A and B are shown apart, each in its own frame.
Chain A
Amino acid sequence: MSGIAFEQPAGGFVFDNCRRNDILLKNNVLPGKIHKTGTTIAAITYKDGVVIAADSRCTAGNIIFDDNVLKIHRLSDNIYALGAGTSADCDFQTRLLESQLELLKLNQDRQVRVATAVRKIQQHLFRYRGYIGAYLIIVGVDVTGSHIATVHPHGSIAFLPFVASGSGGYTSLSVIEDRYKENMTEDEAKQLVRDALYASTTTDLYSGSKINMFVLTKEKLDKFLPYEIVAARTEKQADYTLAKGTTEVISTNVKKIEFDIVNEKVKATGAHEAMELA
């Protein structure tokens, strides 16, 4: 066991718990619930660029864990990703890709292309044979135009003019499918995506709260955080502030936090020179 204390994180996945966990699972023990972004994410292209939107709910089982999550991840200045599926996978894989793309941009001194981002994550996910549960929509604007790509955990991809994904994806997709036209104006595109997200946030249990939207073109990136609050919580109908001393306490222990004074100046009010204490 002496090796463990000096073990340094070397990067990459660690598999030292797998055997133990396998044995536990074989004895009919269930692993805990992991956070899923049961989600609606949608993206459409329009005349000048792309509009992307996501709801803001994070669930674990039927519990709403967080109602203000940003599911739009930055990959580079001109490329963004929307994530559905396992929260941790979406968070970490987009972070990893973001840093790879930044290094690539610095190395070749030019803006990275959407195709590069998609191919990198595709090859990465394929190597993990679908076990990384990240359903991503990658959108971006580059020298070749504006693109939307959907990437699945097994590594399959599709470049599409519009797409929606997540647990509320089909609801949203039916709205987009119905009203999508090529070369829409920005306002038309925003309205369509909003309506698509509204449909799924109000029907899908795992999507809800707010609609966050980004509009990405060659010239600009508009962030609407949120674009619309679909369902706001009502004000509390009473003040539940508890009086001091409500809770019965057995013991109290106050630990003062000592802090180092880095810099302190004392200025005299008279004609004396200001003193400086280090």
Chain B
Amino acid sequence: MGDDMMSYNGGVALAMKGKECVAIVCDKRYGIQNKTVATNFTKIFQYGDHCFVAFCGLATDVQTVSERLRFRTNLYELREQRKLKPLVLYNMLTNLLYERRFGPYFVYALVIGLDPKTGETYVFDSDNIGAISDNVNLATVGTASDYIFGLGELFFKPNMNADELFEATSQAFLNGVDRDSASGWGAVVYVVEKDKVTVRELKGRQD
């Protein structure tokens, strides 16, 4: 650990899909290699009523990319006079990342969204150069993603309601993160539904 740019600061995120609801969770650690510097560094950013993006990787790039994306999405909404949809957001993000194909940002991203009219849910992931994914059931990126992937597959089932989705996402995340030294210090879960977003702070191990 530490000699890889993607695990220099630590951090991890997980997204999962339910029935007319979608959840995303990230940890709160900000470290420099094996030294923990802050424990309130969340990695989830909101880009519309029903759209969220989580960035994991090098912290400086997490902030840069999130702000560059904010600039482009704001400009899109002003120019087009319409709300951002999840697929549009995802395409904007992957385009932004692929532009830097030969000098990439060191971030992996998760994009989640919900169409309030149809109830359709969206979960996408991307690597640091904008590889396009399908609309998947669950996706995870970051230092503990290898552990969380297995747990996510275990707890995921199709058509969960918002409460089931919250528990499945949280438990998969917390138990995976506990085996990773580079992420942790609690978690923040966003559950997006048609009419509301529920933000819950989770208790996690503090070491």
Contacts and interface: CB of A to CB of B under 8 A. Distances in A.
Contact of B4 (A12, A32, A242, A246): A32
B129 A13 contact: no
Interface string B71-108: 11000000000000000000000111111111111101
Interface in A1-55: 5, 9, 12-21, 24, 28-35
Nearest to A260: B83
B203 A250 contact: yes
Contacts of B168: 241-242
Given A18-B102, A29-B5, A66 B136 contact: yes
B32 interface: no
Among B99, B170, B195, B203, which residue has the most Cβ atoms of chain A within 10 A? B99
Interface stretch (A84-92, A108-116, A184-192, A203-211): A84-92
Interface of B: 3-6, 8, 49-50, 57, 71-72, 94-106, 108, 116, 125, 127-134, 136, 139, 145-146, 149, 154-155, 157, 163-164, 166-168, 170-171, 174, 186, 194-203
Contact of B200 (A17, A31, A65, A251): A251
Closest 3 CB pairs of A and B: A18-B103, A32-B6, A17-B103
Given A30-B5, A66-B134, A248 B202 contact: yes
A211 B8 CA distance: 38
A276 to B, nearest CB: 21
Given A247-B174, A252-B198, A255-B197, A32 B57 contact: yes
Contact of A70 (B134, B145, B170): B134
B197 A254 contact: yes
Contacts of A63: 145-146, 149
